Structure 1
Amino acid sequence: MTGAVLAVDIGGTKLAVRALADGVTVHERTLPWRDGADPDADLDLLGASVSEAAGALGTAPVRIGVAAAPNVDGDGRVVGWPNRPGWTGRSLRVPFARTGAEVLFGDDATLAALAEAHATGCRDLVYLGLGTGVGGGLVCGGRLLTGAWGTAGEVGHLVVDPAGPPCRCGRRGCLQAGVSGPALAAHAAARRGRTTTTAELVAGVADAEDWAEHTLDHAAGLIARALAVLTELVQPARVHIGGGLGSALTALPERVAPRLAATVRAGRPVPEVRPAVHGAHASLAGAALLAARGAALLGEESVA
């Protein structure tokens, strides 16, 4: 990993930027998106943050890796983002133009899976990121599983309960509809009897509050259902749970593991369920890998 590069994570609630010189982090900053900000203000914040990080390098970055929560086409244009619909149609290349660097985009959860596989040397890994939504990535045989249209690994849209709540994708009972941050906050509120935030849920789990424990078990059960399907299809050796909320709920992997084991057919190996090595910054770590290795990363052996 050589040269001056930038890694950018465009998440549902936050923006994270890291500057690296010859593989060493020289600058890192995480900023929340401003409540009620319009797309122009969002993109101005992105541009200013990139300029600040580039300045910390002391030289122009040669490449920028971007882990993007919104769906981005080959030209760097946002084709859809339910969290911030005003971004649709906007070019994400504009905020990076002043750097003169090559800019590469990747799905945030996909890049997180690559970073986790690289960090652990695991050739068969499933990454699950819980936050504003639920993202996923699959590394199989040391390579990213992308599928015919390049977007395989949408674990959040596996249907785990056909009679479950509606998902923003238009279907009912997707994993995302049950275990995203807003979904778990709503579940906790119903159990608790009053409005509850995800921060309160995390604190409630830490304090072993009954309502919070119930919500954690609810999440673990739904996640285990989704992983049981993936275990049959791709046989991962490890499952890593990350994302902002997934990393904050530190007890979640140990709650998922026995429920997954109970669903696996007799005589079949059970994947290890672990917290993400990079915690809430797995997508940013993946963006750094993309910046260091270039576009070939998405097709080459990711475990070296």
Structure 2
Amino acid sequence: MNTLWGIDLGGTKIECAVLDAADIKKVLIRRRIPTEADRGYEHILSQIEKLVGQVIEELGDKPEKIGFATPGTLDPVTQTMRGCNTVAMNGQPMKKDLEARLGVRCELANDANCFALAEALMGAGPAVAPDAQVIFGVILGTGVGGGVVINGKVWGGRQGIGGEWGHIFLDETGGPCYCGNTGCVEKVIAGPALQAWYEKLSGEKRSLAEIIERRNTDPHAAATIERLLDQFGKAISIITNLLDPDLIVLGGGVSNVDFLYTEGLERAQKHVFTPKPDILVVRNVLGDSAGVFGAALLFA
């Protein structure tokens, strides 16, 4: 059986999906088990091994290679994990350890890269821009991330930081970021950053959905949404001026904000280095499935 295996390493669950290599939209099986990350790195590896064993037994087929969507990056120099919010993975030679345990070739890419790859090959890419060569995938939710896909392949870059849009400097008022810098995109337009900005203005805590709902009646909500639109536009223009991608796909909870695709896009056009900007920004197609599908497609 010619198959593509992918595993998404989430903070709370580990999911495996197997695709038909001859028809990547055909999902043969999907299974998940708890990560139980609080029990440590070795336990995470054991859970992965357990899940792979379950899928092999149920599918009646063994993988030759497995792609992994990870919550951080495999450093191409040290071959150890870094930047993982599942902190037990940080500093670990995860690719080497997985290959030793599973006995197959493994490929690791961060979750934003896998999101971008899945949308490029299975989702918004074929649906909206089937001839696209360069696609940029954006995760805009609790955190902010990005991934670059060129001619159907993830571009990780020399240092493994290709597409790290969330940690480009955007605005000083975003304040300190966990990465050590100040004013990163993530600290300005991620969901928690917008809620914190509203609270700073109003003295009240509200969800992003509530802030959006109050946009026309609450001056503090209006100011927060204005900040989102203005800074989103600047952030999208950075991608456009640098890469000029054929398509930008938005994912994550904040991607469900409808006016980003109209008012937000208009703000971006003001900062793009061409007289008549033509930026194609669309909502994702695959939703939460993108991570595990993208992991499988690392070997497509």
TM-score class normalised by the smaller sequence? 0.7 to 0.9
CA distance in 1, matches of 2:36, 2:225: 29
Question: Quick one: which of 139, 159, 166 aligns to 2:149?
Answer: 139
AA matched with 2:29:
H
The alignment partner of 1:61 has SS state of coil
Counterpart amino acid of 1:9? D
CA distance in 2, matches of 1:19, 1:113: 18
Correspondence 1:201-240 to 2 at 5 A: 201-202=208-209, 204=210, 208-210=213-215, 215=224, 217-240=226-249
Q: Map residues 42-61 of structure 1 onto 2, 5 A cutoff.
A: 42-61=44-63
Given that residues 146 and 152 in structure 1 are in contact (C-alpha distance below 8 angstroms), is that contact kept between their aligned partners in structure 2? yes
How far apart are 1:85 and its partner, in Å? 2.5
How far is 1:165 from its partner?
1.3
Shift of 1:152: 1.8
Aligned to 1:4: 3
Judge conservation of contact 1:128–1:241 (CA < 8 Å) in 2.
yes
Give the CA deviation at 1:151: 2.7
Question: For 2:52, what is the secondary structure of its paired residue?
Answer: helix
Q: Would you say the 8 A contact 1:112–1:137 is kept in 2?
A: yes
Which residue does 2:114 correspond to in 1? 111
Which one-letter code corresponds to 1:154 in the other structure? E
Q: Is it true that 1:257 corresponds to 2:265 in the alignment? A: yes
C-alpha separation in 2, matches of 1:208 and 1:114 = 33
Identity %: 29
Taking the aligned partners of 1:143 and 1:239, their CA distance within structure 2 comes to 15
Change (3 A) 1:76 1:45: farther
Q: What residue in structure 2 maps to residue 172 of structure 1?
A: 182
Q: Is 1:157 aligned to 2:167, yes or no?
A: yes
Distance of aligned partners of 1:163 and 1:213 in 2 relative to their CA distance in 1, 3 Å threshold: closer
1:80-126: per-residue Cα shift (whole Å, max 9, x none)? 23523232233434456554322111232223223323342221322
Tell me how far 1:161 sits from its aligned partner: 0.4
Q: CA deviation at 1:213?
A: 6.9
Q: How big is the shift at 1:174?
A: 0.7
Measured at CA, do residues 46 and 154 of structure 1 come closer, stay the same or move farther in structure 2, by a change above 3 Å?
same
Deviates more, 1:159-168 or 1:5-14: 5-14
Runs of 5+ consecutive residues of structure 1 not aligned to the other structure: 294-304
SS at match of 2:275: coil
CA distance in 2, matches of 1:188, 1:55: 51
**Matching residue's letter, 2:16:** V
Pick closer, same or farther for the CA change 1:32–1:254 going to 2, 3 Å: farther
Amino acid at match of 2:246: A
RMSD of aligned Cα (Å): 3.3
Q: Which amino acid aligns with 1:67?
A: A
Partners of 2:19 and 2:28 within 8 A in 1 = yes
Cα displacement (A) at 1:176 = 1.4
Unaligned runs of 5+ in 2: none
CA offsets 1:225-247 (integer angstroms, 9 cap, x no match): 1221221222123211113x245
Give yes or no for contact 2:6–2:18 (8 Å, CA) kept in 1: yes
In 2: Cα distance, 1:180 partner to 1:12 partner: 19
Taking structure 2 as the reference length, what is the TM-score of the superposition? 0.78
- Give the letter for the 1:16 counterpart: E
8 Å Cα contact 1:242-1:282 kept in structure 2: no
Structure 2 equivalent of residue 296 of structure 1: none
TM-score, normalisation: structure 1: 0.77
Deviations 1:268-303 (A, max 9, x none): 332111112322332322212113x2xxxxxxxxxx
> CA separation in 2, counterparts of 1:31 and 1:213?
42
